[in-house]
Structure 1
């Protein structure tokens, strides 16, 4: 303790100068919008770089698992392709020059993932420089992950489906009854579906998909399997517990989905 006191006495002038200098920098940043924006931009770049470095190390030790996921995804794609008849293939790809898919996919790597709070986010290593914008859907080969809500030059923040503010349109796979996917903030492996009417044929083990009614996700993106359900107090709508296909505590690579027709549809909808 005496050594610490002696050190403080010896370098009191230097320490006082550093303290006042730091204080002046803080006041300058807070009182000038230009300096503040530059500081925030630098901080985002710095933290993004740290997240990238830490994630690269984590990715190295999980390469086998990610390779297994890719193998599973390729297997699923081949099975889906084999399920199409020759007639269906001809009808879809008769004229490839005129075939126009409204959805565009961008691959990205998750460099930060929070799932232990009530309102969770992910950070991915693609941003404005990669033509990523807000309201892009985010999925993996196993299912839905979230929606982009903020972008910087090289990174994007994603509202996770494990966020109490998240609300996504979904449907029963076996019927056209649709509802809203939410999260109650409890189990990261389970989400809830609300507003499915009591007339819907709900069964345990049935699959939940995206319904294609939103401008963000195409129809048929898997979400999870129904584990439990009950009628809400008004007895008109079900509240359904769904076990996710995705392990939201272990998300490595994702696909960002751009709806090329989104602005056109928004403009028509706003003209009402």
Structure 2
């Protein structure tokens, strides 16, 4: 203890200078938006680099599982291609022009994932240099993940569907009755759907998909299945608990989905 006291006495001037310097630096940053934005940008770059390094180690040990998922996804895509070819043949079409699609996809890897708070976010290793923009939808082969909230040069921050501040239009796949996807902050595997009218025939095991009226997610993307529902006396809408198809605690590769017609539609609105 005496040595610590002697050290503080010996270097009191230097320590006082460093303390005052740090205080002045904080005041400068807080009072000037330019300096603040530069600090935030540098912090995002630094944390992104750290998360990239840590996730690289984790990625190495998950290669076997990732390969299995890729095989399953390729199988699913081949099935969809076969179904599309069958439909085109029945309709007498001879060509499917992919460039005419309204939506375009790009991939990314999750380098940080928070799921145990009320308002959760993900950090993905793609950003502005990869043409990632705010308000792009984020999905996996199993279902929706969230919406891009903020972008930097090399990374993007995604607001997770496990966030009390997000709401997504969804529907019952079998009947097209639509409602709103929200989260109560409790179980990261279970999410809530509100505003499905009491006229809808809701059953356990029913599939919930995206409704498609927003400019972010196309219709019929998978969300989850109904595990329980409740209709309080005197209420006109169900409260439904849905088990997500995605394991939101174990995300690795994701896809950004961009509606190429979003600008035109926004201008018309």
Give the TM-score, by structure 2 length: 0.93
Partners of 2:88 and 2:94 within 8 A in 1: no
Structure 2 runs not aligned, ≥5 long = none
Residue in structure 2 matched with residue 32 of structure 1 by the alignment: 32
Matched, 1:164 2:151: no
- The residue aligned with 2:52 is 52
Alpha-carbon distance in 2 for matches of 1:185, 1:81? 38
> For the residues of structure 2 that align with 1:113 and 1:25, how far apart are their CA atoms?
31
Q: CA deviation at 1:13?
A: 2.4
Distance 1:4 1:228 in 2: 62
1:93-112 matched pairs, under 5 angstroms:
94-96=94-96, 100-112=100-112
Aligned equivalents of 2:84, 2:97: Cα separation in 1: 21
Secondary structure, aligned partner of 2:115: coil
Q: Note if contact 2:195-2:239 (Cα within 8 Å) is conserved in structure 1.
A: yes
1:145 aligns with 2:145: yes
Distance across 1 between alignment mates of 2:97 and 2:84? 21
Q: Distance in 2 between matches of 1:242 and 1:252?
A: 22
Q: 1:242 to 1:36 in 2, by over 3 A?
A: same
Distance 1:98 1:74, change over 3 A: closer
> 1:268 and 1:232, CA in 2 relative to 1: closer, same or farther beyond 3 A?
farther
Post-superposition CA distance 1:125-179 (Å, at most 9, x none): 1111111111111001111101111112221111111011111011111121111
Partner of 1:20: 20
| Distance across 2 between alignment mates of 1:134 and 1:236 | 35
Structure 1 unaligned spans of 5+: none
- Residue in structure 2 matched with residue 251 of structure 1 by the alignment: 251
> What residue in structure 2 maps to residue 215 of structure 1?
215
SS at match of 1:138: strand
Distance 2:194 2:97 in 1: 42
Distance, in Å, in 1 between the alignment partners of 2:57 and 2:70 is: 20
Residue 79 of structure 2 aligns with which residue?
79
What corresponds to 1:63 in structure 2?
A: 63
Q: Distance in 2 between matches of 1:152 and 1:36?
A: 15
Superposition TM-score, scaled by structure 1 size: 0.92
Query: Secondary structure, in 3 states, of the residue corresponding to 2:179?
Result: strand
CA deviation digits over 1:41-80, x for unaligned, max 9?
2112111111111111221222222111111111222223
1:125 matched residue in structure 2: 125
CA distance in 1, matches of 2:28, 2:268: 46
Structure 2 residue 241 is the aligned partner of structure 1 residue 241: yes
**152-161 or 19-28, which deviates more:** 19-28
Q: Is the 8 A contact 1:93 1:99 kept in 2?
A: no
